[in-house]
């Protein structure tokens, strides 16, 4: 019995993965949600997995999000607001150790700073073009996803082509 007591289990980090759908799930980037989840889960267990979409999101995209094991939140206003609300809920959850933000925009810097102030580890996953250098440097760790984007980004907005 003493042998069992001396064995300590390594605590697995509990993650909250929050994805900025319109900026990450673009056809020209060719990013797969299952790939994102796999990369994040190398760091711990996904307790929360959310993709924030706008109201123009096609039904097939919403279905793909759900099939990948994410909760789809359809924003009726600005995606950034719903993304921030989901992130703040995760930051203030005792069940979450690390916040994984899947985004490219420096607009999310305040979330990174607040999460770190609250003692949460922050991992940022993004892709070029447009992956903010400030966002990368402010996180505890960042992962740059390979994308199939051309050198010059196209003029398409969100997932109109998805």
SS (H, E, C) the chain: CHHHHHCCCCCCCEEEEEEEHHHHCCCCCCCCHHHHHHHHHCCCEEEEEEEEEECCCCHHHHHHHHHCCCEEEEECCCHHHHHHHHHHHHHCCCCCCEEEEECCCHHHHHHHHHHHHCCCEEEEEEECCCCCHHHHHHCCEEEEECCCCCCCCCCCCCCCCC
Q: Among candidates 101, 91, 98, 93, which has minimal Cα distance to 134?
A: 101
pLDDT at 129 (0 to 100): 87
Q: Which domains does the chain have, with CATH numbers?
A: 20-145 (3.40.50.1010)
Who's near 58: CB < 8 A, 6+ residues apart?
A: 159, 162
The pTM score is 0.82
Residue with more model confidence, 147 or 71:
71
85-144 residue pLDDT tens: 999 999 999 999 999 999 999 999 999 999 999 999 999 999 888 889 999 999 999 999
pLDDT digits (tens, 9 = 90+) for 33-66: 898 999 899 988 999 999 999 999 899 999 999 9
Q: What is the pLDDT of residues 63-102, one digit of tens each?
A: 999 999 999 999 999 999 999 999 999 999 999 999 999 9
């Amino acid at each position: 019995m003493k042998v069992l007591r001396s064995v300590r289990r390594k605590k697995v980090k509990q993650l909250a993965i929050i994805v900025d759908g319109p900026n990450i799930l673009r056809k020209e980037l060719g990013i797969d949600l299952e790939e994102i989840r796999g990369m994040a889960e190398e760091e711990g267990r996904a307790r929360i997995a959310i993709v924030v979409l706008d109201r123009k999101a096609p039904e097939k995209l919403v279905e793909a999000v759900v099939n990948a094991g994410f909760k789809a939140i359809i924003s009726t206003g600005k995606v950034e607001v719903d993304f921030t609300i989901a992130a703040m809920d995760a930051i203030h959850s005792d069940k979450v150790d690390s916040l994984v933000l899947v985004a490219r925009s420096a607009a999310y810097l305040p979330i990174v700073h607040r999460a770190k102030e609250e003692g949460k580890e922050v991992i940022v996953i993004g892709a070029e073009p447009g992956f903010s250098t400030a966002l990368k440097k402010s996180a505890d760790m960042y992962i740059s996803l390979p994308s199939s984007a051309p050198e010059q980004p196209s003029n398409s907005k969100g997932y109109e082509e998805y």
